[in-house]
Structure 1
């Protein structure tokens, strides 16, 4: 019933217009290397300030779906991943294009993305209200435990060095603390600067870190576009659709992996690699992966789109973003005066179900847009990057200025841009920094409220089974890299001892 009301919200012609505009802009963002879902949403977020929250989130989420679709275009035609999660698509997508099967590869990629997104939005529809009802029982201690679990999950489950993840997170916490302490009213780390009284605006930081940082890196690499052309005819689409049902197991497995990695803070990129690896292992033609197998396109695309969509589940129900793009959207909700969490489903039903309904239609709109406009978007990449890069930088500057109508914010954006560039060069992850910047204040408030309620007794975090389980799991995640290292060392020693025993026995 609530979902039907959500589709009623979409009955407004302007919301439909914003959805198609968002998808089209998203595909463009996905096509241009150096941008991405999080970057595009961050850069274009200021444009939505004049809209209603429902229209704004519909447009922003549609930009995200479009970016998820668009990343496949450059991966297949140019062997340049438009998005980080499109890297795995290049493995078989580009070899197919080189064989003259670009149309089939793109059709398979788009259809797989649509399938993965549909599975994830069904999960969102049925699980979100259940999780929201359960989360209504949460107090400050429970919320802090969830935040702690999110941060520790990045340390325990991330592919990057735990030291680098923790370092990035600590910097994010430090930046989040700048400004006026909301509890005591004292100034923190302002160093006598009036500009720092309001702290570092999350949106300006994200535009710099993602948008400017990526552009600086791409300019340094001297990126040039060389690739194949592609035309998608109804005949090619129909023939490809007839072959895709053979890979139903791969599609479902990829969607499940994607949903899991979206809900936990894994993200679309590791989900796409994991799905590709599983498909290669279980496929009868696994040994041919990397030479132009259509199944090697289906697996990562299903997982990436499922992960991108399901990342909204913890963001809406608990206020915990499952991806950098969801973190940017979380910032948008806070700017519009909406508090993500279980009460959102009670106080803003129209907003939540309008968003979920827009995901159903946005997914379909994305499929229609990409199938009909591939040649146009591919031709954009014929424009020299030396022209595209300044245009993107100007858009970033306009976006940063719009937040507070202050030229000083452009300078702050550029500083964060250099920081993002350095992070990329040194292989430090940006996602933990962004999440700490967004959630740092909320995690601190939840912790301090818990301490006030318990008179400073940390045992409040083990006062019931729910908060105790979450905190214990978080601490386990935090030390998991050490545990896994010890296990590997013990196994290595055991193998060494077994080898020595065998050597002695042979003598």
Structure 2
């Protein structure tokens, strides 16, 4: 049954990845309620397979239609679509899928061997250490993100505010309920995610008036084997992309910056760097390897520390909490079957995903011929059903639409959604860890420097927090010194 769930999950995931307006995080969020009746092992296998398929599916639209089905597929369009226009769509798709398979395989190996070690080490963590790790996660988004730090902090603060709505679990006081009975239970993160990602994306796409135009493609065995014969030439690019992806997945960088970073490095080190953007196969290998490695490696901190490395991992984390499982080091001791069942499924679903996408590309490409005016209402109905089934409350559909408007405004104003989702999911846990640490230390903040472990993590977090300010000041100083040098040269 688990293998059947895996195949269904991969197919659903590719479908989700192909459709602009859905995404990995939203596909998992919408379909999460369908898994409530399953065992946790079966449910996580199906959900991780959906995520897997979405990673694969994003490449299909990027290469054939120049429409990134996922944010991390943008870099794939740079060389993938020019290859398709030159009649090499089969080669581009085979290279993309095989590179994705390799990147994910490296990341799963990392999870297999590193997860038990990290979990064993994390058993030494107390409330202060856990809060320090949460703080590092939040500050990493500020210090390492591409978006302006002010926007990241604003999005995160909104997430923290939404996470506090309801009853304070420590004092029993009502917070931000405004005398409303409906707000006593707070906002369910799943309803928020469905609205922010799904409905927000649909509203934006409707405004832009999306039209699909692209190349058709069919992959035959001859093209697959010919492409596989060429790929070993790019082993260094693939390995570099996998390493970049693993690093960006474990730190809260995510698949999107990993794909761009890998593409940039490949362009810099390649002999054919000048030809990138005109249909170089290496330009497809680099971003796809990194994106899949990052998407998979994000599960490592989620399982071992309970800290997601991507928005989709944050949704999966919420799923674990719904099933009564507490991600963290004890998960490896108390729920061995669950953890190793998931890791075993990652190996299998990666292989199943590769086979599925290589054999079904024409079917999924044909989906894009359906008018968006038909697809959009179908996606909205699926979103509404997903939101309703969380608590069987029709009010959640209203919340979902409200969050959809917030998601739409965020995208229009170029505010990042990932920090908001992260704060919404982890806000309660970060607050609980902080308050426990304060109770233990009787309100003494020096508890966060009480030993080398917590002190190191807090110091790293603070460096991440002030890093953008330091970079800004240094750039201004350099700019001023350059200007002075130019003036001095002119006067001389």
**Distance apart, 1:496 and its partner CA:** 2.0
Match of 2:260 in 1: 273
Match of 1:8 in 2: none
Match of 1:170 in 2: 157
The match for 1:96 among 83, 90, 94 is 83
CA distance in 2, matches of 1:19, 1:193: 42
CA distance in 2, matches of 1:107, 1:269: 21
CA distance in 2, matches of 1:361, 1:498: 60
**Distance apart, 1:504 and its partner CA:** 3.7
In the alignment, structure 1 residue 76 sits paired with structure 2 residue 63: yes
User: Superposed, which structure 2 residues align to 1:187-202 within 5 Å?
Assistant: 187-202=174-189
Q: Residue deviations 1:442-471, cap 9 Å, x none?
A: 000000000000010000000000000111
In the alignment, structure 1 residue 469 sits paired with structure 2 residue 463: no
Match of 1:9 in 2: none
Match of 1:366 in 2: 353
Q: Residue deviations 1:470-507, cap 9 Å, x none?
A: 111111111111100111112112222322333344xx
CA distance in 1, matches of 2:411, 2:332: 38
CA distance in 1, matches of 2:104, 2:347: 8
The match for 1:492 among 451, 472, 479 is 479
CA distance in 1, matches of 2:245, 2:482: 35
TM-score calculated relative to the size of structure 1: 0.97
Q: Residue deviations 1:159-203, cap 9 Å, x none?
A: 001110000000000000000000011111111111111100011
The match for 1:334 among 310, 313, 321 is 321
The match for 2:93 among 101, 106, 109 is 106
In the alignment, structure 1 residue 427 sits paired with structure 2 residue 411: no
Match of 2:273 in 1: 286
In the alignment, structure 1 residue 121 sits paired with structure 2 residue 143: no
CA distance in 2, matches of 1:109, 1:34: 22
CA distance in 2, matches of 1:44, 1:273: 29
CA distance in 1, matches of 2:175, 2:469: 34
**Distance apart, 1:41 and its partner CA:** 0.2
Provide the aligned length of Structure 1 versus Structure 2.
492
User: Superposed, which structure 2 residues align to 1:74-473 within 5 Å?
Assistant: 74-473=61-460
Q: Residue deviations 1:227-262, cap 9 Å, x none?
A: 000000000000000000000000000000000000
Match of 1:4 in 2: none
The match for 1:57 among 32, 44, 63 is 44
Q: Residue deviations 1:393-445, cap 9 Å, x none?
A: 00000000101111111001000011100000000000000000000000000
CA distance in 2, matches of 1:487, 1:345: 45
Q: Secondary structure at the match of 2:291?
A: helix
CA distance in 1, matches of 2:401, 2:11: 27
CA distance in 1, matches of 2:57, 2:438: 47
Match of 1:33 in 2: 20
Q: Residue deviations 1:239-296, cap 9 Å, x none?
A: 0000000000000000000000000000000000000000000000000000000000
Q: Residue deviations 1:19-74, cap 9 Å, x none?
A: 00000000000000011100000000000000000000000000000000000000
Q: Secondary structure at the match of 1:21?
A: helix
TM-score calculated relative to the size of structure 2: 0.99
CA distance in 2, matches of 1:281, 1:383: 40
Question: What residue ranges of structure 2 are gaps of 5+ in the alignment?
Answer: none
Shift >4 Å, 4+ stretches: none
Q: Residue deviations 1:306-352, cap 9 Å, x none?
A: 00000000000000000000000000000000000000000000000
